[in-house]
Chains A and B, each alone.
Chain A
């Protein structure tokens, strides 16, 4: 004969009752009343329960909003109830300590060089780096990257999602990156502006993700021609808070591939987003791209919120309610930024004896490289210093050149955003008397031309854009 099972009656520790009284109206037997005595531990007035007439219907339990409020009476109802520690144990979570699922490096068969656009090269780099999740919103001149992902990822059982906006895009990345998987987007300047909120959250929550910004002309809608006017966003403006991310600046289709692969390594190494600033010209440029001999199958890091038992105890968040906690978190992030200093990269071309050092990145660096050749041909000791990371700025490599050079000429497609970085980096060194810094700048989708750079260095003629620039007041902020 089956044993009759008695339903448990409610049980309440007064210190976990906020006295809201939602249980009172739920009880058909009128067993519960508002209390009259203030609980000395909480300062609140818990309800009073008289179980004499209780029929153990359980409705009061369902009505109590507190997890540890009204509950079914535990089987062992002893004096131990006085001690919540002993009653509930001290474990925070029953989940295990997460174990790392390591990434695998797989050999890639040898192949002939590809002849592809910069945007395609970057997408292929992502696939070789193990990225199987792409989220994005179409925007010229970056769309080839998204289009190739849309074509290839389904064939690799990967995920391509065309998001409702760039705001949604970065939050999809926050989700997939938070789950510990490599993911990315392609965008261009106006879209990048929209992603900055989410990038701040990603930095705050230490979520990896790769952002390829194929920069176009601004401000506002601007145009779809190349510009470098998002340098300040990438380097100094990644949303609110004390944020930084490694910023890579490729200048060839080959580098679009190589630096995208590097970006995925760095984003997981530091648990921090990585920004690739390309430009509209480079994105559209076709060139020779040699594939590496390995590819990656990603693992799942220990910190991820993947949605399995191994990672159950994890949390992805950027909220630190207490000021001391948030300051400590900021200190931790800043220590991480400091560690990233070793990632500074640059390339010097004919700089050993250079009296005139040109400084440029992205496509303008290629015009500058052409100009160096022209200048050398005409007997001018010119060289090119090309940052590959803008943050951290490769000041250690620039400094010896800057000490030796007679002139520094910054070549850029912006109103001086690269030059500002150079000046800031120099200002933090022991160099007090920097050689004159001159510039060749174009904006609005125009790029500095090789001839203009040569003319600037030789002082042979006024260069395009300079006449007007001379009339513009220098803006110091």
Chain B
């Protein structure tokens, strides 16, 4: 008797009476044998302390009554997913997913197939007795053609499909390294089953991959036979459909030995982008000439115009200066079809509403954006549009300044169309004085610190934007 079984099955009805030492299984059930071979393998490999057994839903739901190892009970079909969670939490753990046929081959197909494809070292014990046990004798995915069950009273018919051959299926998946189908109906096969379960466990202990053992087992109760007849039934009826043997044995060298996670604060800070680098500030006060507390801007164009990048740079610039700022890509039906709109706020202390339904400033990179958002600009606000692509800007509300800047042409002249958004930022600076020039340029340089070669071009684009507006307005 393996020492991996509890001395007393306390979890089995609080070990009342004989339950302290007897399983809940019906006489002759194959589960008890699979439990025994698993317990013996755990003992022989000396991994009792490291083992986590994941119990399924079905008759073996109470595996945790018996095995003196770490135990987790999973939802129906999900045992391989739970097992994977355990293995990833502690790669040193030896994790066993123990499942029946309804659990593994029906409701849990996605979980077993994905685990078997991933190939993280796990041991899967699949007990196939061709029927639902605990639920009460219904058709299993592995029930045989013509087999009469509670839900196939006239025999499993063609519309139910052929029984699932899981050992063959998972052996065809890339992550499994060892797959064998064994049986329990005679001494020779029981010896093989025991050996296979031990091998499947050892492969995981050595970090070699996912091993899968399908055990053809007996369910005398729901096959409505005595145990001896059930053994014969498995041999005569199941074997032709579920041939025994090794389906795959391609055990690789040990490979699974992940390092423990790092909790080095310096490393964490660097990775999340935290830096103590303090960017120089140039603002002497909040730009109250635009609004006492909170300035909103809308940048609108097509995808590729750089509206989002320019918006981000404004937000960064504002935050570098010690203000609050937000940026959101616009939502709503108008954000479909390759258009790209951004709402930006810069507030002295706190941005309340990050949306910009009535902006102080609009930067429009094309005519539809100008037509759509031009009318929303506040009285006293400013519209900057790309006069390279918008030829007839139209008229907008009283007291709204409308300034055309050849953003695209300037960028093309500089050799890179993509810097037209930086031309726009230069124009914004000159037209509104939102921040000093150096504030914008510091944000641009900081954003390009990984691509320093791009900095001069962007500085030039910014300068052209400034100059264009200064020329136009002087």
CA distance A226 to B50 in the complex (A): 45
Q: Are B69 and A133 in touch, CB under 8 angstroms?
A: no
CB of A271 to closest CB in B, whole Å: 14
Q: A residues within 8 A CB of B273? A: 114, 116
Q: A residues within 8 A CB of B394? A: none
Q: Are A107 and B7 in touch, CB under 8 angstroms?
A: no
Q: Are A280 and B7 in touch, CB under 8 angstroms?
A: no
Q: Are B73 and A205 in touch, CB under 8 angstroms?
A: yes
Q: Are B20 and A84 in touch, CB under 8 angstroms?
A: yes
Q: Does B6 contact A (CB under 8 A)?
A: yes
Q: Are B85 and A67 in touch, CB under 8 angstroms?
A: no
Q: Are A280 and B81 in touch, CB under 8 angstroms?
A: no
Q: Are A307 and B21 in touch, CB under 8 angstroms?
A: no
Q: Are A315 and B83 in touch, CB under 8 angstroms?
A: no
Q: Are B21 and A68 in touch, CB under 8 angstroms?
A: yes
Also in contact, A132 and B261, with CB within 8 A (given A181-B89, A307-B95, A312-B48): yes
Q: Does A426 contact B (CB under 8 A)?
A: no
Q: Are A88 and B70 in touch, CB under 8 angstroms?
A: no
Q: Does B332 contact A (CB under 8 A)?
A: yes
Give residues of chain A (375-403) contacting chain B, Cβ–Cβ below 8 Å: none
| Chain B residue at smallest Cβ distance from A92 | B10
Q: Does B351 contact A (CB under 8 A)?
A: yes
Give residues of chain A (127-153) contacting chain B, Cβ–Cβ below 8 Å: 127-128, 130, 132-133, 135, 152
Q: Are A155 and B191 in touch, CB under 8 angstroms?
A: no
Name the prevailing secondary structure of the A interface residues: mixed
User: Which among B2, B26, B353 has the greatest number of chain A C-beta atoms within 10 A?
Assistant: B353
Q: Are A22 and B28 in touch, CB under 8 angstroms?
A: yes
Also in contact, A175 and B82, with CB within 8 A (given A94-B68, A369-B352, A370-B353): yes
Q: Are A450 and B84 in touch, CB under 8 angstroms?
A: no
Q: Are B7 and A157 in touch, CB under 8 angstroms?
A: no
Q: Which of B172-180, B299-307, B322-330, B421-429 makes up part of the contact surface?
A: B322-330
Give residues of chain B (264-283) contacting chain A, Cβ–Cβ below 8 Å: 265-269, 271-279
Q: Does A288 contact B (CB under 8 A)?
A: yes
Q: Are B82 and A92 in touch, CB under 8 angstroms?
A: no
Give residues of chain B (416-465) contacting chain A, Cβ–Cβ below 8 Å: none
Q: B residues within 8 A CB of A152? A: 271-272
Q: A residues within 8 A CB of B113? A: 164
Q: Which of B31-39, B148-156, B236-244, B359-367 makes up part of the contact surface?
A: B31-39
Q: Does B338 contact A (CB under 8 A)?
A: no
Q: Does B8 contact A (CB under 8 A)?
A: yes
Q: Are A92 and B6 in touch, CB under 8 angstroms?
A: yes
Q: Are A171 and B352 in touch, CB under 8 angstroms?
A: no
Give residues of chain A (65-92) contacting chain B, Cβ–Cβ below 8 Å: 65-68, 71-72, 84, 88-92
The residue from B13, B36, B259, B324 contacting A65, defined by CB atoms under 8 A apart: B36
User: Chain A 50-72 against B: per-residue CB contact (8 Å), 1 yes, 0 no?
Assistant: 00000000010011111110011
CA distance A135 to B92 in the complex (A): 20
Q: A residues within 8 A CB of B269? A: 108-109, 111, 291
Also in contact, A114 and B274, with CB within 8 A (given A109-B266, A157-B260, A316-B71): yes
CA distance A132 to B268 in the complex (A): 11
Q: A residues within 8 A CB of B226? A: 21
Q: Does B315 contact A (CB under 8 A)?
A: yes
Give residues of chain B (57-75) contacting chain A, Cβ–Cβ below 8 Å: 61, 64, 66, 68-75
CA distance A26 to B227 in the complex (A): 12
CB of B47 to closest CB in A, whole Å: 10
Q: Does B409 contact A (CB under 8 A)?
A: no
CB of B187 to closest CB in A, whole Å: 5
CA distance A225 to B316 in the complex (A): 25
Q: Are B261 and A156 in touch, CB under 8 angstroms?
A: yes
Q: Are A16 and B274 in touch, CB under 8 angstroms?
A: no
Also in contact, A167 and B78, with CB within 8 A (given A115-B312, A307-B52, A315-B72): yes
Q: Does A193 contact B (CB under 8 A)?
A: no
Give residues of chain A (14-31) contacting chain B, Cβ–Cβ below 8 Å: 15-16, 18-22, 24-26
Q: Does B114 contact A (CB under 8 A)?
A: yes
Q: Are A305 and B86 in touch, CB under 8 angstroms?
A: yes
CA distance A171 to B88 in the complex (A): 12
Q: B residues within 8 A CB of A106? A: 263, 265
Also in contact, A107 and B21, with CB within 8 A (given A18-B27, A280-B331, A285-B326): no
CB of A12 to closest CB in B, whole Å: 12
The residue from A62, A115, A159 contacting B194, defined by CB atoms under 8 A apart: A62
Q: B residues within 8 A CB of A124? A: 272
Q: A residues within 8 A CB of B315? A: 115, 286-287
Q: Are A63 and B73 in touch, CB under 8 angstroms?
A: no
Q: Are A281 and B357 in touch, CB under 8 angstroms?
A: no
Also in contact, A366 and B353, with CB within 8 A (given A25-B228, A62-B191, A308-B92): yes
Q: Are A67 and B90 in touch, CB under 8 angstroms?
A: no
Q: Are A65 and B265 in touch, CB under 8 angstroms?
A: no
Q: A residues within 8 A CB of B88? A: 133, 159, 161, 172, 175-176
| Chain B residue at smallest Cβ distance from A310 | B49
Also in contact, A315 and B27, with CB within 8 A (given A68-B21, A72-B1, A306-B90): no
Q: B residues within 8 A CB of A159? A: 88, 258, 261
CA distance A426 to B244 in the complex (A): 66
Q: Does A373 contact B (CB under 8 A)?
A: yes
User: Chain A 313-352 against B: per-residue CB contact (8 Å), 1 yes, 0 no?
Assistant: 1111111011000000000000000000000000000000
Q: Does B412 contact A (CB under 8 A)?
A: no
Q: Are B21 and A317 in touch, CB under 8 angstroms?
A: no
Q: Are A306 and B93 in touch, CB under 8 angstroms?
A: yes
CA distance A259 to B97 in the complex (A): 35
CB of A56 to closest CB in B, whole Å: 14
User: Which among A107, A164, A197, A367 has the greatest number of chain B C-beta atoms within 10 A?
Assistant: A164
Also in contact, A59 and B187, with CB within 8 A (given A19-B27, A281-B328, A286-B328): yes
Q: B residues within 8 A CB of A253? A: 326
CA distance A322 to B419 in the complex (A): 71
Q: B residues within 8 A CB of A127? A: 268, 271-272
Q: A residues within 8 A CB of B332? A: 225, 445-446
Also in contact, A366 and B354, with CB within 8 A (given A20-B27, A167-B78, A171-B78): yes
Give residues of chain A (91-127) contacting chain B, Cβ–Cβ below 8 Å: 91-95, 104, 106-116, 124, 127
Q: Are A175 and B70 in touch, CB under 8 angstroms?
A: no
Could you list 22 examples of A-B contacts with CB < 8 Å?
A18-B28, A20-B28, A20-B220, A62-B187, A64-B32, A65-B31, A66-B32, A67-B66, A88-B20, A90-B7, A106-B263, A107-B265, A111-B275, A112-B276, A112-B278, A172-B82, A172-B84, A175-B54, A226-B331, A287-B325, A295-B265, A450-B357
Residues on B close to A: CB < 8 A?
Answer: 1-3, 5-8, 10-11, 13, 15, 17-18, 20-23, 25-33, 35-36, 39, 48-52, 54-55, 61, 64, 66, 68-75, 78, 81-90, 92-95, 110-111, 113-114, 186-187, 190-191, 194, 220, 226-228, 231, 258-263, 265-269, 271-279, 312, 315-316, 319, 324-329, 331-332, 351-355, 357-358
List 9 additional contacts besides A65-B31, A286-B312, A366-B355; criterion CB under 8 Å.
Answer: A128-B268, A164-B113, A167-B111, A168-B81, A175-B54, A306-B90, A311-B70, A369-B352, A450-B353
Residues on A close to B: CB < 8 A?
Answer: 15-16, 18-22, 24-26, 41-42, 44, 59, 62-68, 71-72, 84, 88-95, 104, 106-116, 124, 127-128, 130, 132-133, 135, 152, 155-159, 161, 163-165, 167-168, 171-181, 183, 197-198, 201, 205, 225-226, 253, 280-281, 284-288, 291, 295, 297, 305-309, 311-319, 321-322, 363, 366-367, 369-373, 445-447, 449-451
The 5 closest A-B pairs by CB, nearest first: A175-B85, A307-B93, A65-B32, A370-B353, A179-B89
